Amino acid sequence: MISNCQRTFVACAFGLQRYKLFMIYLHLLSFFFIFVLIRNIYVFVQERPIIMYDKQHGLYVAHCSKGELKLNGRMANRHGLIAGATGTGKTVTLQVMAETFCQAGVPCFMADMKGDLSGISQAGKMNGFIEKRIPEFFPADSSASGTGQSFSNMSFQSCPVRFFDVYGEQGHPMRTTVSQMGPQLLSRLLDLNETQSGVLNVVFRVADERGLLILDLKDLRSMLDEVSRHAKDYSTKYGNVSSASVGAIQRALLQMENQGADKFFGEPAFDIHDLLTTVPADSPEGKKGVMNVLAADKLMLQPKLYSTFLLWLLSELYTTLPEVGDQDLPKLVFFFDEAHMLFDGTSKALLDKIEQVVRLIRSKGVGIYFITQSPTDIPENILGQLGNRVQHALRAYTPKDQKAVRAAADTFRANPDFKTDEAIMNLETGEALVSFLDEKGAPAMVERAKILFPLSQIGAITEGQRLDLIKQSDLYGKYDKAVDRVSAYEQLQQLEQQSAEVSDPRSTQPSKADSNQNTPTTSNVAKSRKPGLLSKVLKAVLTALTSTLAAILGTWVSDQVSGRKTKSRKSAKERAVKNATSAATRTITRELTRDILGNLKL
């Protein structure tokens, strides 16, 4: 309030007209501040992020006529399936579910087959696609303005991301050693028969006993060659080791090398605990799960290597992580896009191994979610383990397609409000049939629902953005440079070289710098051999002369005692010279022969 004295002062100072202008200015300024305050409150309300997870209700994924559809956190490790024809929204559904787990503080691993999932590292933007989807989720808010424009300032957000790549081109390399994979898993991977698997077990046993490390494929090849060359020695102890079996294994390794497996095997080996990372964040759990994205656009062209990677990673998790059972949230969630690539052309033995791991790994707190076009792409024994399901549209143009639709419909708990098989063929993009496990582990009734739109970017990021994120990662430099330490390949080469030196000392060729000290030259050899040979010749001559003189002396004494005179054709001097010459000749001949034949005793 302005006092009367102040009014009088203003009137006196500025005059009545100027006073009125001043008051108008004050009112306008007040209105401006009130407008700014109201606008900020409005923007704050409109920029609220969508809460995709809360402890009471679970993980928000979709919306149906009955309300929100949420995945029970305690059932998230019971695995799941996202299926649907090309272009129906499977990848976006995967991205939404990954964001939901991220907000819940659960790290995820995603095999990105087309590069689209890299967009989860960037905050999204309002576009026509999202504007059309907003009324589906917020009908009350959108009706106020008639359109979805009231949410144009809605808050988008990214997820913390790490990029990986088996080839080390689009992310941090992921490697393991041949020893870590083991003979059993490697045999199943190479599709070896029982006899060939036995030979591979012999190779690993021999390497173990001799302390030879098998880290990469060149080490394994060297060990196979070593066992093959000494097959007779090992056959008596471990059983028959045939060259045919060794050759079959070598050919299988060659096929894997052609698929780029030489980059997958080696050191430094990937630490599985690096997948279980969270970062502090303003979220319901006070943290966000890190999204581990595997660049698989090139890897998908090599199904054998892709199978190798998947099976090793799951097996490593199963053997490393402790038993935890059903927790409020899983410790890690796996998403495998284009899952049919994993099973095409895969041996029965490998399928059995995958089924075993999928069935048992949930007790380690790990959930696996397969993404594929049709549920029939997944083997039945594995499909039966997938409790949480999102089914997008399927097209039925052929009798085979119609059979696939009926098979997909039969996997859901029926809803009396609609026919499941008909609904599958009439679903729109972004629409799906959803059935999650309830708190008791039973599948809920299938609902026709709209999948929530992602808050991160839809689509691939640029190479520059990817490179920046790789360099900013706390794993940068840990796996990027391969290490080739001394292992079986180098150890066996050294043993062969030592064996060659023992069998033929002259075969060694030291460097010129050491030639004067370590390598005897031709003249040095002659000098070193001449004193030894001369001494032996002199010794032989002296021995011959002594024997000759003793014989002559013995004959003379005998003649003196008996009174006879022994006649000899040669004089004592001639006999001594002849015997000495013969002894010298024999000694020289023997020594030269020994040298030629490698110091063999005659």
3-state DSSP call for residue 66? coil
Contact 487, 211 (CB under 8 A): no
Residue at 245 is within a domain? yes
Residue at 40 is within a domain? no
Please check whether residues 529 and 405 belong to one and the same domain. Answer: no
pLDDT for residue 149? 35
Q: What is the pLDDT of residues 499-542, one digit of tens each?
A: 887 766 555 555 444 444 444 444 443 444 444 566 766 776 67
b/e per residue 186-222 (b: at least 16 CB within 10 A): bbbbbbbeeebbbbbbbbbebbeeeebbbbbbbbbbb
For strand 53-54 and strand 58-64, is the pairing parallel, antiparallel, or unpaired?
Answer: antiparallel
- Across residues 191-213, what is the average pLDDT? 91
Q: What is the DSSP string of 525-558?
A: HHHHHHHHHHHHHHHHHHHHHHHHHHHHHHHHHH
Please check whether residues 198 and 71 belong to one and the same domain. Answer: no
Please check whether residues 327 and 409 belong to one and the same domain. Answer: yes
Please check whether residues 246 and 112 belong to one and the same domain. Answer: no
Residue at 255 is within a domain? yes
The pLDDT confidence band at residue 427, using thresholds 50, 70 and 90, is very high
Please check whether residues 340 and 360 belong to one and the same domain. Answer: yes
pLDDT for residue 558? 63
The CATH number covering residue 386 comes to 3.40.50.300
Residue at 399 is within a domain? yes
Residue at 217 is within a domain? yes
Q: Torsion angle, CA of 63/68/73/78, rounded to 10 degrees?
A: -50
Distance CA 593, CA 602 (A): 9
Please check whether residues 66 and 117 belong to one and the same domain. Answer: yes
| Structural domain boundaries, residue 465 | 58-123+158-174+280-472
Residue with more model confidence, 232 or 311: 232
State how far the alpha carbon of 103 is from the alpha carbons of 79, 98, 229, 356, 537, in Å: 19, 9, 58, 30, 95
Residue at 24 is within a domain? no
Please check whether residues 335 and 467 belong to one and the same domain. Answer: yes
Please check whether residues 313 and 423 belong to one and the same domain. Answer: yes
- Across residues 160-167, what is the average pLDDT? 94
Q: What is the pLDDT of residues 134-145, one digit of tens each?
A: 777 765 544 433
Q: Is the pTM of this model over 0.75?
A: no
Please check whether residues 421 and 536 belong to one and the same domain. Answer: no
Please check whether residues 420 and 355 belong to one and the same domain. Answer: yes
pLDDT for residue 182? 86
Please check whether residues 351 and 458 belong to one and the same domain. Answer: yes
Residue at 449 is within a domain? yes
Please check whether residues 294 and 230 belong to one and the same domain. Answer: no
Distance CA 158, CA 20 (A): 53
The domain tally of the chain equals 3
Residue at 136 is within a domain? no
